Amino acid sequence: MKSSLLGLGLAAICASTAVAQLPSVLFEQSQTPRQPLVVSPSALATPPVQMVPSTQKHTENTQGLTFTNMYQTDFFPNWEIANENSVFVYEPISKTTILVRGNRVFANNQLTGGQLRFYTTTDNGASWNEVEAYNQPGKFLPFPNFAVVNTKGANAKFEDLNWALFCGLYEQSSSWARNGQVGLFMPSSGLFEFPMPAPDNAPSDMGWGIFGDMVGVSTDNPAVYHTQRLDKPINNGPTQYGVLGTWGYDFNAEDFTTNSVPSAWNIDQFQTPDPPNLGSTLNTSPLVGADADGKLYAAGNFVFTSNPSERVPSVSSSENQGATWSDFNKMPYSLITSYQTSRGWSNIRNYGVYEMDAFVVTGSDEYSYILRLGTVEENRWASIDIVEARYAGGTWSLNKVADINGFPLQFIRQDSISDAEGQYAWIPAYSANPLGHEVQVTKTADGSSILVKWIDDNPEYIDSGFTQRIAFQNSGQWAQDELTAITATDVFVSYRSVNGGTWSTPRNLTNDRVYDHGTRIPPVIESLTSVPLLTLKTIEKSQYRQDYPFLPAINQVQDMVLDASVDYRTPNTVRTTFFNATVVSVDEEPSYSFHINSITPNPTSANAELAFTMNQPGMVSINVFAPTGEKVASIFNGSLEAGLHGLNIPTNNLSVGAYYVTISIGGEQSTQQLVVVR
């Protein structure tokens, strides 16, 4: 990564008031627990758009990776793949990679029920098998959450494994509205369905929600365990803040080990939002893991009443199959202030706290929690780091994993505006990706290494020169603005030895113009040389049926905006690949015909000098952008010969802050940050 796009990734993104609103959304990400996207029953009962048969698979090469197209999403992608639930799993004993899919079933364009299917591979994706686990009329089960257990050994086939699925329940009898949760369990005696009541000691109006975390334990007591922040699952009413629950299922006993709100997780110890609001929470949903002996660990990034101004990673453990849990082991907040000092920041903040698989257990009472810390200047994020909070040898440590470039966005058609302006109007609403940078951490099956995956803006690829109407929320109301540029995103990874402390240089796996989103890796992988990766790819305009009623509107949407869309009218293709994290990819750096040598001094209190080298003659455009995306200075426009060039960048008319110097030559573009100080 050559530069930081904190700000440019937001809006060189946008040119006016929408950007003024967006940083306030990102500055302190929403404290409201994420709920399933509200979709009308009539929309749920509408058949999906079938452009390509779901069984059709082909390969596509990007950056030396070979992607296999698995199927197209049936709902909004976050009903299937793009959420924090576990749907992509590697079972290390049988070396089986498993992908779970939930979808609807239609007959004569009428919704009749749903399916749950497994896609499995034992040869690193060279071939996939498909198994139907569930097909029931009158109900469908989106938001699957999966964990698997192996008691049969290395030669076990998928049908020999024990597993559990925890899903949302939507029934025809309730006009296809959400009607609680359901569990599917596969013990040795055969598959059964269970309605999953609320924890025994939960508040009377609380129950299991949609999102949570699951882990399978293949020990002498093979079991699966689930942790979650509770909500009101029937009517989606106000959620009491911070009630945490857990359940476990033992495959030997073929019975639940627990279904409770543990006393060690008592809500009184967690800080209430100020002012108190039953519809919001400061708590993350607890993530769950296990060590080789089956001891359980539940982790979150919590705010406690004892220190209401401090949020810290904290871990509770259980040695009796989740029946009782220990008090939380809290990371000292002094580590965060020390990290602030080491980075030279004037302040320090958590960026986002609702993570995917951000927790990994590396040994007995040893674990790591991945978070994002940053600093804010002039009410904007000035810098963000991915950081590892590590507990080993009885002590906590805090170590940087990587820099963050920008803020990945998502787009969904905003119905109330689009419908008001005509049948074919497509006005996408944009917001920060609810999964942030899609940060996940995984460990190798032998326990020797851990790896972190994330997505981030790519400053090398900015689509601009277009005008796209967009919707955004302003004080709870929808407003409109114009999008004038958007940055592509890429998938990045870094890894370290469990016994070491140094993270590898971040590697860009994709480095292309694709807007990568919906990325997933399993919580356990075979090795650093065989890492399964799942991504979403919004289908291209040419793939839609010509009679699709939304095609006229889709054709008016900028390609990159469409590629970043997660709307149910724009199906995404679920793709898988396997990569070697230790090998540098074939196009790790763009093969540009020029490169920026330097911008000095940087930071500067006066003028800065830009030096760059051209390998061939061409038309050159050099501009300076403000963090809002506004072009504040045009430095040069003209033809130059090959060779080394230099020029001055005046800063007298620029206020203090970060800016972005962009050089465009022959359709290629490179960006570096310039910081102005006084």
Give the containing element (helix H, strand E) for 286.
Answer: none
- pLDDT band at residue 337 under the 50/70/90 scheme: very high
pTM of the model: 0.83
pLDDT tens digits along 486-500: 889 999 999 999 998
- pLDDT band at residue 627 under the 50/70/90 scheme: low
Same domain, 573 and 477: yes
Token pair in block for residue 222: 């093979």
Per-residue pLDDT averaged across 232-261, rounded?
A: 80
- CATH classification of the domain holding 629: 2.60.40.1930
Note the pLDDT of residue 462: 83
Note the pLDDT of residue 231: 78
Question: Quick check: helix, strand or coil at residue 349?
Answer: strand
Give how many domains the chain has, as a whole number. 2
Note the pLDDT of residue 53: 40
Same domain, 468 and 570: yes
pLDDT tens digits along 393-437: 999 999 999 999 888 989 998 888 888 888 788 899 888 888 889
- Residue 646 domain-assigned? yes
* Last-in-domain residue among 529, 564, 589: 589
Token pair in block for residue 369: 């929690």
Note the pLDDT of residue 441: 97
Number of H helices, E strands in the chain: 7, 41
Same domain, 547 and 636: no
* Last-in-domain residue among 529, 558, 589: 589
Positions of E strands within 320-379: 329-330, 349-350, 359-363, 366-377
Same domain, 602 and 622: yes
Note the pLDDT of residue 10: 37
pLDDT tens digits along 161-198: 999 999 999 999 989 988 889 999 999 999 999 999 88
- Residue 322 domain-assigned? no
Note the pLDDT of residue 260: 95
Q: What angle do CA 523, 526, 532 make, to 5 degrees?
A: 65
Per-residue pLDDT averaged across 583-597, rounded?
A: 58
Same domain, 545 and 656: no
pLDDT higher than 90, residue 335: yes
Note the pLDDT of residue 60: 42
Same domain, 446 and 566: yes
- Residue 381 domain-assigned? no
pLDDT tens digits along 29-52: 333 444 445 667 777 887 776 544
Q: Give the contacts of 145 (CB within 8 A, at least 6 positions apart).
A: 85, 86, 87, 165, 166, 167, 211, 212, 213, 214, 226
Same domain, 647 and 547: no
- pLDDT band at residue 451 under the 50/70/90 scheme: very high
Note the pLDDT of residue 50: 56
Same domain, 549 and 604: no
- Residue 32 domain-assigned? yes
Q: Which structural domain range is residue 668 located in?
A: 594-676
pLDDT higher than 60, residue 98: yes
Note the pLDDT of residue 343: 93
pLDDT tens digits along 513-547: 889 999 999 999 999 989 999 999 988 888 888 88
Q: 667, exposed or middle or buried, with CB in 10 Å at 0-12, 13-18, 19+?
A: exposed
The average confidence (pLDDT) of the chain is 84
Same domain, 554 and 656: no
Per-residue pLDDT averaged across 313-324, rounded?
A: 97
Note the pLDDT of residue 275: 67
Give how far the C-alpha of residue 558 lies from the chain's centroid of Cα atoms, to the nearest Å: 23
- Residue 36 domain-assigned? yes
Note the pLDDT of residue 346: 93
- Residue 609 domain-assigned? yes
- Residue 229 domain-assigned? no
Same domain, 483 and 563: yes
pLDDT tens digits along 2-37: 333 344 333 333 332 222 233 333 333 333 444 445
Q: Give the contacts of 418 (CB within 8 A, at least 6 positions apart).
A: 425, 426, 427, 553
Same domain, 464 and 601: no
How far is Cα 504 from Cα 278, in angstroms, rounded to an integer?
Answer: 43
In contact, 468 and 481? CB cutoff 8 Å: no
pLDDT higher than 80, residue 257: yes
Q: Which of 78-87, 273-282, 569-578, 630-639 has the lowest mean pLDDT?
A: 273-282
Q: Give the contacts of 365 (CB within 8 A, at least 6 positions apart).
A: 291, 317, 391, 394
How far is Cα 133 from Cα 119, in angstroms, rounded to an integer?
Answer: 11
Q: Give the contacts of 469 (CB within 8 A, at least 6 positions apart).
A: 427, 480, 481, 482, 483
Same domain, 447 and 467: yes
